[in-house]
Amino acid sequence: MYGKDASPCDITASSNDDRRAKRMISAIHQSSDELREPAPELRQYAIPGSAEKIRYRDSWLFFRRRAGRLLVNFREASRSKLFLAVVCGRTAVAKPTMHTVLSTAALDGLMTQALVEFPTPVMITDDAGTILWVNQALCDLSGYAAAELLGHTPALLKSGSQDGAFYQQLWNTIRDGRVWHGEMVDRRKDGSHYIAEEVVAPLRDEQGVVRHFLAVQHDITERESRRKREHYLAYHDLLTGLPNRAMLQDIAQKAVAGAMRSEQLIAMMFLDLDGFKSINDTLGHYIGDQLLVALAERMQSGVRHSDTVARIGGDEFAVLIPSLENRATAAPLAQKLLDTLARPFSLRGHQFCIRASIGIAIFPSDAADVESLLRCSDRAMYQAKLLGGQRYRFFEPGTTQDPSDAPETDQVAPARVPPLPDVNS
């Protein structure tokens, strides 16, 4: 079809056609890899003549005259892709080569059947976006019958998840003759949403004018749900739903970066429940787990909206407090947290009074990075626990673990509740 038996032409020859062919090849190489946007220089080359073959760099061009147009078969050897460029006057179009032994009528029927039975949703619209054809897979996914879709535009499926700029970029791409691909959230007839990977390709007529658009969807709702679930499991505590240590570190890293720019302080509070092990030992882990869930909910209610409560593990929690005005600001926040937890919990006929120890470390005076900040707050929490618990302490460099050496200051919160466990049936 493309004169494969023709002898290669010498592109260094002096003939006008060869020189024009060389310039045409150069123009092709200046275009995009897949000739989606042929360079303007390419449009001026419509070389007359019979079939011939020209070698240029790592590519071959085969020429054949047909119906007043020059057909150019361009093969880029390095990518092993074959394209058919139709060059006529000022118009240049690139489209895939069709390989078949079928007649035109048989091929048309087979392609129609393939689209109808294709398991992936397919839609064809005119150049204004009016839906002209859909297959059954699209009807099954969207919940609409074909008659409900035909004559409408794809806006019928809009979920509101994408803004106007998103759709404007899509339309600009395909009206420019390029293929658009991306992810989109659409709405079914019943109002539920689904996520689809979508490819929208322009369809040109013989003159290279875009007349229709072909949209192919792939439902990735389940895949995205699995991905979100895996992400949730990686960054959240399964029992309480709080951020875990990994997520706390990510949030803290961003907070540290912001604090360095704004020259503000950050507080990290490390909280350990006093004597919580006895709850598990006396009432079982189920009750202990339910109490941890209730504790997590109350802790979140006792901090600011900008603060982050995380479960580090077991009965240990951390609270990240960004944007502190000064070191002393952390003290009333810690006291409020202790008071919040001290209110009795009622659970399955039991009443629990919770005591806790809190250690506080400040960025950047106590630590210059997130890991050091957590470590310093943990050491300060241990000092609070050695002093009897139900109190907070700030980190002090070089402090001893002997509680008798720790000074009694206004950091100590009065123990207004009895120690755990206090269980009344």
Strand pairing category for 265-273 and 308-313? unpaired
Q: Where are the beta strands (DSSP E) in 189-315?
A: 193-204, 210-219, 265-273, 308-313
Report phi then psi at 283, rounded to 5: -115, -10
Side-chain half-sphere exposure of 350, counting CA atoms within 13 A: 17
Are the CB atoms for 347 and 273 separated by under 8 Å? no
Are the CB atoms for 316 and 269 separated by under 8 Å? no
Q: Spot the catalytic one: 315, 366, 378, 410.
A: 315
Are the CB atoms for 62 and 96 separated by under 8 Å? no
State which H helix or E strand residue 184 sits in: strand 180-187
Q: What is the largest CA-CA distance in the chain?
A: 105
Which residues on neighbouring strands pair with residue 219, listed in sequence order?
196
- Give the C-alpha separation, 194 to 220, whole Å: 8
* Active-site annotation holds for 126: no
Any idea which residues carry the catalytic annotation?
315
